[in-house]
């Protein structure tokens, strides 16, 4: 397997995820929460985060894909990742969110199109509270004015993989977050 340069090591991830879990535990003390993970990239982050949150919690998962003129992964790398703005739900959550504390868990906040779509969808279901936990944030790429409430790391405009994030479905199982070099 090709050696990729590590941007954020597994030790740095573990330390930061522990701190994020402590923030969530403090903010929702005495309450129950639903962690809603965005498939597939958030699966590893959700499992590490949720195991350190000391609250009564349930899990759910939601699936989305952006469609339209999506470039191939190689083109995305060359010209920067750019979804078209159209997001489609491929898997809905199983539980009702009405009156619940919903924490949407996402791997990376990039243009913000995906989370803007999901925020609108979930708010329409009238949760008691709605928060976003994103492991990574690329603020320089934002097209929609959305922010996460809990952010792991703010990163520059690089294409990253590992710890759940993929490049054409590969590298999700890398334990560190690595940069895919642009040619
Ligand atoms: P947004 O809708 O542009 O904010 O994009 C969010 C989604 O784009 C994430 O859930 C990822 O699936 C994908 N994405 C954005 N940047 C990267 C990256 O650097 N590596 C892997 N996936 C990425």
Q: How does pLDDT run across 3-17, given as a tens digit for each residue?
A: 899 999 999 999 999
82: pLDDT strictly greater than 90 = no
CA 63 to CA 175: how far, in whole Å?
A: 23
Of 81, 156, 164, the one to substitute when testing ligand 1's pocket (max ligand atoms within 8 A of C-beta) is 81
Percent of the chain with pLDDT over 70: 89
Average confidence score pLDDT of the chain: 92
Q: Are 47 and 171 in contact (CB under 8 A)?
A: no
State the pLDDT confidence band at 183, using cuts at 50, 70 and 90.
confident
For ligand 1, which residues put their CB under 6 angstroms from it?
41, 81, 83, 106-115, 159-161, 165
Q: Are 104 and 120 in contact (CB under 8 A)?
A: no
Q: Could you tell me the distance, in angstroms and rounded to a whole number, from the CA of residue 29 to the centre of ligand 1?
A: 31
Can you list the domains of the chain with their CATH numbers?
10-159 (3.40.50.2020)
Q: Could you tell me the distance, in angstroms and rounded to a whole number, from the CA of residue 4 to the centre of ligand 1?
A: 18
Q: How far is CA 160 from the centre of its chain?
A: 13
**DSSP tag of 167:** B
Residues catalogued as catalytic: 110
Sign of CA pseudo-dihedral 93, 95, 99, 100 = negative
| Least confident residue range of 2-6, 51-55, 129-133, 138-142 | 2-6
Percent of the chain with pLDDT over 90: 83
How much is the pLDDT for 73? 62
pTM of the predicted protein model: 0.93
Nearest CA to ligand 1 atom 17: 159
The pair phi, psi for residue 146, each rounded to 5°, is -125, 145
Of 78, 83, 110, 169, the one to substitute when testing ligand 1's pocket (max ligand atoms within 8 A of C-beta) is 110
CB atoms within 10 A of CB 32: 12
Which comes out higher in pLDDT, residue 65 or 98?
98
How much is the pLDDT for 69? 47
Segment (H or E) for 16: helix 10-27
Q: Could you tell me the distance, in angstroms and rounded to a whole number, from the CA of residue 30 to the centre of ligand 1?
A: 33
Nearest CA to ligand 1 atom 8: 110
Report the DSSP beta bridge partners of residue 104. 36, 132
- What's the whole-number mean pLDDT along residues 113-132? 96
Q: Three-state SS for 21?
A: helix
């Amino acid at each position: 397997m090709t050696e990729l340069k590590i941007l954020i090591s597994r030790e740095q991830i573990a330390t930061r995820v522990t701190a994020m879990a402590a923030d969530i535990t403090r903010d929702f003390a005495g309450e129950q929460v639903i962690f809603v993970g965005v498939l597939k990239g958030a699966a590893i982050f959700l499992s590490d985060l949720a195991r350190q949150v000391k609250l009564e919690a349930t899990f759910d998962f939601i699936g989305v894909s952006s469609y339209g003129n999506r470039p191939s992964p190689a083109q995305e790398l060359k010209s920067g990742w750019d979804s078209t703005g159209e997001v489609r739900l491929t898997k809905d959550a199983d539980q009702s969110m009405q009156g619940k504390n919903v924490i949407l868990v996402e791997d990376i906040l990039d243009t913000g199109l995906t989370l803007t779509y999901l925020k609108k969808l979930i708010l329409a279901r009238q949760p008691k509270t709605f928060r976003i936990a994103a492991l990574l944030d690329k603020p320089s790429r934002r097209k929609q004015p959305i922010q996460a409430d809990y952010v792991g790391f703010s990163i520059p405009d690089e294409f990253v993989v590992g710890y759940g994030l993929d490049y054409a479905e590969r590298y999700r199982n890398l334990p560190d977050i690595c940069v895919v070099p642009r040619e």
